Amino acid sequence: MREFRNLICIGCPIGCDMEVTLEEGKVSEVKGNTCVRGKNYAEKECTNPTRIVTSSVRVQGGEIDSVSVKTQSDIPKNKIMKCIEELKGITLNAPVKAGEIIIRNVADTGVSIISTKTVAKTNEDM
């Protein structure tokens, strides 16, 4: 069975309009890309789409009440909701350092969730 998908490439600033042909679930042709990054993006997006997940979690005793977090690398698109579920209800104690691992192997992906910002502890004695 032949299937066609239209994509806009996000591999570089050009944003090529591409048409991808799939046969039996495999990419057989990519048209419209101006560079190899477009072809690679189209193949991955049509056969195994992945995303970087960004969110925030609460911080207790910090200068601010929450910290932004993200996956260290992209995860399968079908694992995003499980990833978000695992982040719900997490509260960290300050201080939090940028790059600190918050969850290891989130949603059984082998990828960790890390903080993207440093949050210092409040000095309540002042």
- Contact call for residues 7 and 42 (beta carbons, < 8 A): yes
pLDDT of residue 123: 80
pLDDT of residue 91: 97
Judged by DSSP in three states, 78 sits in: helix
pTM of the model: 0.81
- Contact call for residues 54 and 72 (beta carbons, < 8 A): no
Kindly give the parts of the chain with pLDDT less than 70: 124-126
- Contact call for residues 114 and 72 (beta carbons, < 8 A): yes
Domain boundaries, the chain: 2-48, 54-115
Which fold, 54-115? Answer: CPE0013-like fold (3.10.530)
- Contact call for residues 8 and 16 (beta carbons, < 8 A): yes
How is residue 104 written in tokens? 């290891």
pLDDT of residue 53: 98
